[in-house]
Amino acid sequence: MYRRILHNRSCNLILLGEGAASLGERSLFMIILWLLLDAGSLWLAVALAAATALPSLIVSAVGPRLLDAAADLRILVGLDLLCALAIAALSLGVDHVPLGGVLGVGLVLGLRGIVARSNLHALVPSLVAPREAGAVIGLLDLVDRLAMVAGPGAAALLLHVLAPPQLVLVAAAAFGLSAVALLLLRRQLGPGPDRSAARTERPASGPSGRCATLRRRPHLAYGIAIRTLGAVLWPTITLGMPLFVARDLALPMTAYGTVLGCYAVASIAGNVLGVWLAARTTLRRLCGTAWALTGLSFVALSATTSLAWLAIAYAVAGLAMPVGILAISTTIAGLDGEAARADLYATQRTLMDVGNLAGVVVAGFALGIGAGAAIGMAGGALVLGVVAVLGGWVRSDRSRAYRAAASSASSPARSGRPGGQTMAPSRT
């Protein structure tokens, strides 16, 4: 299936655009974060994360109108160019880490992220056959996941040969490449009908509309809750891993590169496995198993003293985490209506940004007790959180099944069906 998708030029352009933007964003954030931490400005790093999350919060407050206004790919190209210019301007004073410049770049990146990813993901099902939409979402997740590893890794390597201002310019060039890819995508698709006008079937705008959308799909609400918990705990892992390898285990940074490589390879396998499993099992079972396994792997990772076992534990997390993420993303991609898909992707993105913001604060305090202990505590908290959410999920499903059975039993018997006979509740 992936082979057919990679022969679709429109899908290739989306993958290139999102891949370049993700690589630029991940590497830039890591560069700035390292500079801020070296300067002892942890709370300035928190301010950067807050500025990146702010556009998501605004979208939640304003509702879908902003997404409608930015549905045209020309707007997305403009946002990529704005990101490139803002980052290039930041390189002029990156040695002094200007507060205004850092916050401004964070706002632009956050705006680009919420608009581009929500609309591009919602556009995917109209470009491919319905059975291939989940695979494309899987490829987008894979590209972002590889950028999550390659961005900080490339930044660490390039810092040995490039000054920070030059490295920031490389991140700006990545957004320029994304703009070119999305411009070619717009020309490939042609003018077509106005997408904003095609999305007038959207339910009531604002937070109430999105809450209503999630209430109609409680299985997605619980799945997104588990992923949000993962977003809160993930910064402790990513920031703690190099410290754990270099300080707690006293290994060279090349060992950290080996661990990241194992994680990246496992992520590719997990991505393919996630797309395959998402079509064959329930969302609850897949989310619960994948995220619980991720947490357990981090608990095991924090207790190891061997590079081999460290790489294995991190690879298990790399295999399991994409399965849990794709279980949710492919479910959203399978919904009818671009409006509903865009809303849910935007809601998920908002919660991820808020979770990452909270996670930076959590990591700042947790890493003070030691990287290994912090990683183990984060893994244990993830397992306990998954168990708690799954408990609420099961009780909610049973309650809905009982209410449906009671309603069916109390309603008049329909023709051709004995009174009181109920249908089995749908699987989630």
Say if 1-187 and 206-403 have the same CATH topology. Answer: yes
Q: What is the pLDDT of residue 386?
A: 95
**Residues 280-317: b if buried by 16+ CB within 10 A, e if exposed:** eeebbebbbbbbbbbbbbbbbbbebeeeeebbbbbbbb
Please answer whether residues 382 and 294 qualify as being in contact, where contact means their C-beta atoms are separated by less than 8 angstroms.
yes
Outline where 244-370 has alpha helix (H): 253-278, 283-303, 307-333, 338-366
Q: What is the pLDDT along the chain (428 residues), one digit of tens a residue?
A: 556 666 778 888 888 888 888 888 888 877 776 666 566 555 666 666 667 767 766 665 555 555 555 556 788 888 889 989 988 887 776 556 566 777 788 788 877 877 776 677 767 777 777 667 777 777 777 777 777 767 766 776 676 677 777 888 888 999 999 999 988 988 887 654 444 433 444 444 444 455 666 777 788 889 999 999 998 998 888 778 877 887 888 887 678 778 877 887 888 888 888 878 887 888 899 999 999 999 999 999 999 888 899 999 999 998 998 898 888 888 887 777 666 777 787 778 778 877 877 887 788 788 778 889 999 999 999 999 999 999 999 888 888 788 777 777 765 544 444 443 333 333 34
- How is domain 1-187 classified at the architecture level of CATH? Up-down Bundle (1.20)
DSSP 179-212: HHHHHHHHHHH-S-S-HHHHTTT--S-SHHHHHH
Q: Which has the closest alpha carbon to 263: 238, 288, 244, 231?
A: 238
The span from the CA of 358 to the CA of 154, in Å, is 26
Please answer whether residues 42 and 364 qualify as being in contact, where contact means their C-beta atoms are separated by less than 8 angstroms.
yes
* pLDDT single digits (tens) 178-228: 999 988 988 887 654 444 433 444 444 444 455 666 777 788 889 999 999
Q: Which has the closest alpha carbon to 158: 144, 177, 143, 173?
A: 173
The domain limits of the chain are 1-187, 206-403
* Fold of the domain spanning 206-403: Growth Hormone; Chain: A; (1.20.1250)
What Cα–Cα distance (Å) separates residue 248 from each residue in 236, 307, 368, 404? 15, 12, 13, 55
- The mean pLDDT of the chain is 76
Q: For the chain, how many helices (H) and strands (E)?
A: 16, 0
Q: What count of other Cβ atoms lies within 10 Å of the Cβ of residue 240?
A: 25
Q: What is the DSSP letter of 368?
A: G
The span from the CA of 353 to the CA of 227, in Å, is 11
Q: Which has the closest alpha carbon to 118: 284, 280, 353, 313?
A: 353
Q: What is the pLDDT of residue 130?
A: 65
SS3 279: coil
The span from the CA of 341 to the CA of 336, in Å, is 8
**Residues 357-394: b if buried by 16+ CB within 10 A, e if exposed:** bbbbbbbbebbeebbbbbbbbbbbbbbebbeebbeebe
